[in-house]
Amino acid sequence: MNIVEILEGAFPDALRARIPKRPVRVLGIDLGTTNSAIAEIVWDPSKAGPVKARCLEVEQATCEGRHIHTLVPSVVAIHDGKVFIGEGAKRLRAEAPAKGLAVHRNLFYECKNDMGIKKSYPRAPEGFRSAPEIAGKILRFLYEAAVAEDATPVERVVVTVPASFQAAQRSDTLDAAGLAGLSLTGGDLLDEPLAAFLDYIFSYEHETVVQPGEDRHLVVFDFGGGTCDVAVFRLRAGNADGFWQIATLAVSRYHRLGGSDIDRAIVHEVLIPELLRQNGLGTFDLGWHQKKNIIEPALLGVAEALKIGLSLEIARLASFGKYTTANKDEVVKSYPATTEIKLGQEILVLRNPSLSAAQFETLLKPFLDRDLLYARETEYRMTCSVFAPLEDAVEKSGLDAAQIDYCLMAGGSSFIPQVLWAVKDYFPAAQILTYPDWEAWQTSVARGAAYHALALAVRGKGFLQPVCPEDVAIRTEKGLQVLVPRGTPLPYPADVTYAKLEGLTVPRAVETGCLPLRVQLVAGPEARSLFTAIWEIPAPVQKGEPLRLLYRYDENQVLDLQLFLARDASVAFAYFQEKPLTNVVNPESKWLKIYELEEAIRQGEIAPTELPEKLVELADLYA
């Protein structure tokens, strides 16, 4: 079934008159850590033919002239009174010291990692002082490029977020959209793994992925420039309605693991040693600040170009069966340019650097290690195996690798052949789903967001219907009372109201003090505990007094529960939990805590009496 049949099938014969008579234009935006992209769909019901998402080529100003590409680097720079976004800002980053640019003052990149933690950039000009503001600049730039290309009104915009983004990060993304002039709601945010899957089923071979009525287990391995987002789903294809029901079983995100970490490895292990050699310098002639804050930003683009070019060459050789037997020292990618780096009054020059397959495989080993899964840091960079989030997600889903039916490789870093081969070996029974070329890999999320936007615009709901993966119940004296049954479509209830559970009462009377009432939520057939707390109901309270329970489980998997006395709603207990049934694993939570604590101290939010204790806590986190 193609997308047109699905869209038109949303309208029964009696409602055929509601099919739009005019062209419907929607946009999907992938707001990435390293690169961003925007895709559009224009569906004209009066015209026959396939409906496909198309990534727009965006014109990006640089100091050298125009640059047009579907990928827009997620970099913002302020230089000579102008704001550069995309390729122009990326090129300025390579010349940051010479151009008077400093990170978080007038140069901003990888700011997506700061979403949701209230980190500010106090040295920056007004309007550039937080991650949402920087993201808003990128979103506005992409949206205005789409509007400039086609005057057809845009009916819906969807922006993607990592599957592990929590409420604060999603809220910051909505704030960024608002700053860009986009009016989004929670339903207009789409998890990146779901977007990648949507693009795959509409762009390639969804008929072979899952048949109607079947349950299949899908892993989306989204290894992008700044994040490694692994999600495990239970998928069921719809019948004539074109829906796929999808239950999120587990998500594991490693906050600082992405293709940029591989780029940094190339910078510090290959390019800087070559820079020292070409300029007659010794290993210890340059200090940490020079290497980390000046040379690294200047060479990140070179490292990325070498990584992509060498990956393409390795993939080409492998397609002919020649890579395995090739001399890895002779499989080389060169960067045909000279890079000048200003260090004070001195200028260092790096001419035509290269990267061999032998060097690349050595650098990749810790990223593909199946045994050492913990993060390892040096003073310059971090290394972590992609199998850490992969194994965590699969294990937390309750499955093993042999039970995975499909693994979709998404994100630009998944295009690295060694990464693809390693993941393929890990899932012995799975069909590995891939894209035909590097650009398709990089832009799949934006196209998937556009498909989701089209479904929302035309039929009011997405092609993928999220469902509750397990029973969610509350424990009472009479036993378990199911609140949200397994397989229930989300949001639940379907409108913006709250569901009610009747028949709950106070178990005993208390005349003085308070009544401690245990509130416990459980999930699954084993009734594992999701949450347990004590609600202290102030006396007097009588046995048998009615309690009211209101609850809602929304499309972003946020469970909101409110329990209160029927006679006095002010005596209440509230529970709010993001993704209570999804195991989100984030080993970088320590660094998020450090960033939040440092920001609170800098902003003066810590009381003077608590400051010594907080400084000790900060020192312990760094230890």
CA dist 618 and 595 (Å) reads 10
414 is a domain residue: no
Residue 5: predicted pLDDT: 57
Residue 14: predicted pLDDT: 42
Residues 376 and 444 in one domain: no
CATH of the domain at 103: 3.30.420.40
Q: What is the pLDDT of residues 579-619, one digit of tens each?
A: 787 655 454 556 666 766 777 777 677 888 888 888 888 77
Q: Which of 455, 449, 458 is nearest to 27 (CA)?
A: 449
pLDDT score of 125 more than 90? yes
**Beta-carbon count within 10 A of 531 CB:** 15
CA dist 527 and 540 (Å) reads 33
Residues 8 and 145 in one domain: yes
State if pTM tops 0.85: no
Q: Which of 379, 444, 431, 438 is nearest to 405 (CA)?
A: 431
Cα-based distances in Å from 435 to 196, 200, 201, 439: 10, 8, 11, 9
DSSP 291: I
Specify the number of domains making up the chain.
Answer: 4
Residues 93 and 152 in one domain: yes
Mean residue pLDDT of the chain comes to 87
378 is a domain residue: yes
Residue 553: predicted pLDDT: 92
Residues 211 and 273 in one domain: no
pLDDT score of 504 more than 80? yes
Q: How confident is the model at residue 15 (pLDDT cuts 50, 70, 90)?
A: very low
**Mean of the pLDDT values across residues 511-537?**
90
Q: Which residues pair with 576 in a beta bridge?
A: 560
Residues 9 and 153 in one domain: yes
Residues of the chain with pLDDT > 90: what percent?
57
Q: Which of 133, 98, 96 is nearest to 114 (CA)?
A: 133
225 is a domain residue: no
Residue 578: predicted pLDDT: 73
Q: How confident is the model at residue 315 (pLDDT cuts 50, 70, 90)?
A: very high
Residues 149 and 66 in one domain: yes
Q: Which of 437, 399, 398, 386 is nearest to 587 (CA)?
A: 386
Residues 49 and 185 in one domain: yes
**Mean of the pLDDT values across residues 14-29?**
74
Residue 3: predicted pLDDT: 60
Q: How confident is the model at residue 205 (pLDDT cuts 50, 70, 90)?
A: low
**Beta-carbon count within 10 A of 93 CB:** 23
DSSP string for residues in 135-186: HHHHHHHHHHHHHHH--SPEEEEEEEE-TT--HHHHHHHHHHHHHTT----G
Q: How confident is the model at residue 489 (pLDDT cuts 50, 70, 90)?
A: confident
CA dist 86 and 77 (Å) reads 9
SS3 of 345-386: the string is: CEEEEEECCEEEHHHHHHHHHHHHCCCCCCCEECCCCEECCC
Q: What is the pLDDT of residues 357-408, one digit of tens each?
A: 999 999 999 999 998 887 787 888 888 899 988 998 898 888 999 999 999 9
Give the domain range for residue 366.
259-385
Secondary structure (3-state) at 44 = coil
pLDDT score of 234 more than 70? yes
Q: Which two tokens stand for residue 492?
A: 């639940």
pLDDT score of 485 more than 80? yes
Q: Which of 385, 404, 420 is the last residue of a domain?
A: 385
Q: What is the pLDDT of residues 144-171, one digit of tens each?
A: 999 999 988 999 999 999 887 877 888 8
Residues 88 and 196 in one domain: yes
Residues 169 and 43 in one domain: yes
Q: Which of 218, 588, 202 is nearest to 408 (CA)?
A: 218
Residue 239: predicted pLDDT: 53
**Mean of the pLDDT values across residues 197-222?**
79
240 is a domain residue: no
Q: What is the pLDDT of residues 407-462, one digit of tens each?
A: 999 988 999 999 999 999 999 999 999 988 888 889 999 999 999 999 888 878 78
Q: Which of 391, 408, 136 is nearest to 250 (CA)?
A: 391
Residues 325 and 192 in one domain: no
Residues 60 and 205 in one domain: yes
Residues 9 and 136 in one domain: yes
Q: What is the pLDDT of residues 129-145, one digit of tens each?
A: 999 999 999 999 999 99
Residue 487: predicted pLDDT: 83
CATH of the domain at 503: 2.60.34
Q: Which helix (H) or strand (E) holds 133?
A: helix 131-149
